[in-house]
Amino acid sequence: MNRLNNRVIAAWSLLLFTMTACVPALKSREARKQAPSYYTAGTTDTTSSSAILWSRFFTDPALRSLIDTALANNQELNILLQEVDIAKNEVRARKGEYLPFVDIGLSAGVDKVGEFTRNGAVEHNLDIEEDTRFPEPLPDFLVNARASWEIDIWKKLRNAKKAAMMRYLGTVEGRNFMVTNLVAEIANCYYELMALDNQLEILRSNIAIQQDALGIVRMEKQAAKVTELAVRRFEAEVLKNRSLQFDLQQRITETENRINFLAGRYPQPVERSSARFADLAPDSIFAGLPAQLLANRPDIRRAELELSAAKLDVKAARASFYPALRLTAGFGLNAYDAALLTETPASLLYDVAGDLVAPLINRNAIKAAYANANARQLQAVYDYERTVLSAYVEVVNQLSNIENLRNSYALRSQQVDALVSSITISNNLFRSARADYMEVLLTQRDALESRFELVETQKQRMSATVDAYKALGGGWR
């Protein structure tokens, strides 16, 4: 007997070794997780603005109110929250797969066999007393419970459950990344709206100046100092700027409604304090170290979790090449008369079985699933590396952008001061016939454009600060 057992064990060991040797070798590699040591040479400060809560980073009460409303009502964010719940339920489903399944059943039926069939002929040819003969037709009553359990020898089911857990955590990080983007987009739209309000106010004041200049030109024409051409040119400039008002008003309406859409509400006026837009000073941004991005950026953490899930998928797919052990058992009561179900042990039935099954021939489907899992793992590796690289580039670009816009704003402020003062000078020179009307016209046009550009640069400065905060991983806490 021992010799027979040893032969069985040896046969299964040989079979297992053969199947293990037949698992195809596929290409794989680890993700590069080493980030650069610094953003700019010599920087060692570990302070990062990403740790600041958005409610403290943005001090404008109206802006904070808009962000609060958006986080509660934004439809896209709420859709993503349902994806989180779906992933959580998937974890529950995977967890249940490596626990025993138990079913309970209740059945009743009748069975009438033909007299000229084998069973019928046997039954009718037997010399059975009338009181012991089975009923015709034969009823069948059954109450039973059945259990089945796949023993997770190779951790296939547990690895699948862990992969589902990683993907669930990934959807949570995806939700955090969505929050970061939503907060940044609300802030950028808010600053754009304030900039448009300021540009509209600048345009209206410039129209008033040009209308005064048009009155002067008309008087100069009556005095025969200028021609009708000068009057027409000034009139055209006034009409052009009055037309531009409607373009700005349309952009204001669209920006307001973009904010309302992000906040999950129908079009309505957006509260803001545009009068102090020019006095806003962008918050200081502390970048910290690139290695901190791996912990602060939700998209990087999600890519890392997806990578871990893909690795577990490969392990689960590899386990499909190995034997699977399944245990089944049943227990119940069975009788041809319902009143006899309780007559135990006569009505008692049970069964226990164990199956050890392994794929042997035509394993193409298993090989394909394994190859696909490995390919998805490589995709996850490249996606992780791309996400880290993209995050680093974003931070470097925004830090550079903040510095360049700061220098540009200082020079544009000087340009505006020079051109605004030149309007008065050109008007005085025109009255004294020491400058022609084109100089006045061009000076006013240049002054308007420079003031517009200054407001635009201020908006870009505020947006660059917001984008740097987002790139560092702030806004989701």
Domain with CATH 1.20.1600.10 in the chain: 29-98+155-323+363-471
Cα–Cα distance between 80 and 431 in angstroms, integer?
66
How many Cα atoms are found within 13 Å in the side-chain-facing hemisphere of 476? 21
CB 198 within 8 A of CB 273: no
- Can you tell me the mean pLDDT for 236-250? 90
Q: What span, in angstroms and rounded, lies between the C-alpha atoms of 315 and 124?
A: 60
Tell me if residue 133 falls in helix, strand or coil.
coil
Tokens of 182: 């939503």
| Band of pLDDT at residue 462, cut at 50, 70 and 90 | very high
DSSP 263: T
> Which of 26, 73, 113, 94 shows the shortest CA–CA distance to 321?
26
Report the range out of 25-39, 112-126, 192-206, 352-366 with the highest average pLDDT: 192-206
Number of Cβ within 10 Å of residue 374's Cβ equals: 21
What's the whole-number mean pLDDT along residues 71-84? 90
Per-residue pLDDT, 41? 62
8 Å CB contact between 164 and 87: yes
CA dist 46 and 472 (Å) reads 12
Model confidence at 19: pLDDT above 60:
no
Any idea what the Cα angle at residue 61 is, between residues 174 and 250, rounded to 5°? Answer: 80
- Mapping DSSP to helix (H, G, I), strand (E, B) and coil, where does residue 142 land? strand
Give yes or no for residue 429 having a pLDDT over 80: no
| H helices present in 226-324, as ranges | 228-262, 293-296, 298-319
User: Quick check: helix, strand or coil at residue 348?
Assistant: strand
The residue ranking higher by pLDDT, 340 or 178, is 178
Q: Model confidence at 5, in pLDDT bands (50, 70, 90)?
A: low
When mean pLDDT is compared across 226-240, 293-307, 381-395, the lowest value belongs to: 226-240
Residue 20 pLDDT more than 60? no
Please state the separation of Cα 189 from the chain's center in Å.
21
Q: What is the largest CA-CA distance in the chain?
A: 143
Eight-class DSSP state of 282: P
- CATH number assigned to the domain with residue range 101-151+324-357, chosen from the 4 options 1.10.1660.10, 2.20.200.10, 3.40.190.10, 2.40.37.10: 2.20.200.10
State yes or no: pLDDT of 3 exceeds 70.
Answer: no
Identify the CA nearest to 19 among candidates 358, 356, 325.
358
Mean pLDDT (whole number) for 173-188: 93
- The CA-atom distances, in angstroms, between 247 and each of 241, 243, 250, 272, 273 are 10, 7, 5, 20, 21
Higher-scoring residue by pLDDT: 323, 459: 459
pLDDT at residue 381, as a whole number: 92
Q: pLDDT (tens digit, 9 = 90+) per residue, 313-361?
A: 888 888 888 888 888 888 888 888 888 788 888 888 888 888 877 777 7
Q: Report how far residue 470's alpha carbon sits from residue 297's, in angstroms, rounded to the nearest whole number.
A: 9
What's the pLDDT score for residue 385?
A: 92
* Weakest-pLDDT range from 22-26, 195-199, 311-315: 22-26
Given a cut of 80, whether residue 10 has pLDDT beyond it is no
Average pLDDT value for residue range 96-113: 82
Task: Give me the mean pLDDT over the 44-71 stretch.
Answer: 89
Neighbours of 189 (CB within 10 A): 23
308 in Cβ contact with 376 (< 8 Å): no
Kindly state the average pLDDT of the residues 162-186: 91
Look at 21-25, 165-169, 318-322 and tell me which has the smallest mean pLDDT. 21-25
Query: Looking at the predicted structure, is the pLDDT value of residue 176 above 80?
Result: yes
pLDDT over threshold 90, residue 9: no
Residue 400 has pLDDT above 80, yes or no: yes
**Is the Cβ–Cβ distance between 304 and 168 less than 8 Å?**
no
- For 127-136, 149-158, 172-181, 190-199, which range has the lowest pLDDT when averaged over its residues? 127-136
- Residue 21: both structure tokens together: 């040797």
Reply yes or no on whether the pLDDT at 129 is more than 60: no
CATH 2.20.200.10 boundaries in the chain: 101-151+324-357
Query: 29-98+155-323+363-471 has which CATH code?
Result: 1.20.1600.10
Q: Indicate the length of the chain as a whole number.
A: 477
Look at residue 265 in the predicted model and tell me its pLDDT.
Answer: 92
pLDDT at 184 over 90: yes
Cis before 100 (ω within 30):
no
Specify whether the CB–CB gap between 443 and 426 falls below 8 A.
Answer: yes
The whole-number average pLDDT for the span 353-375 is: 82
Please compute the mean of the pLDDT values over residues 401-408 and round it to a whole number. 92
Which pTM was predicted? 0.82
Average pLDDT, stretch 77-90? 88
Kindly report the average pLDDT of the chain as a whole number: 84
Q: Which pLDDT score is estimated for 262? A: 94
**8 Å CB contact between 422 and 334:** no
Tokens 């089944």 sit on residue: 328
Packing angle, helices 228-262 and 156-222, rounded to 10 = 160
Contacts of 343 (CB under 8 A, 6+ apart): 335
The confidence score (pLDDT) of residue 194 equals: 95
% of the chain surpassing 70 pLDDT: 89
User: Quick count: other Cβ atoms within 10 Å of Cβ 71?
Assistant: 16
- Which tops the pLDDT comparison, 455 or 137? 455
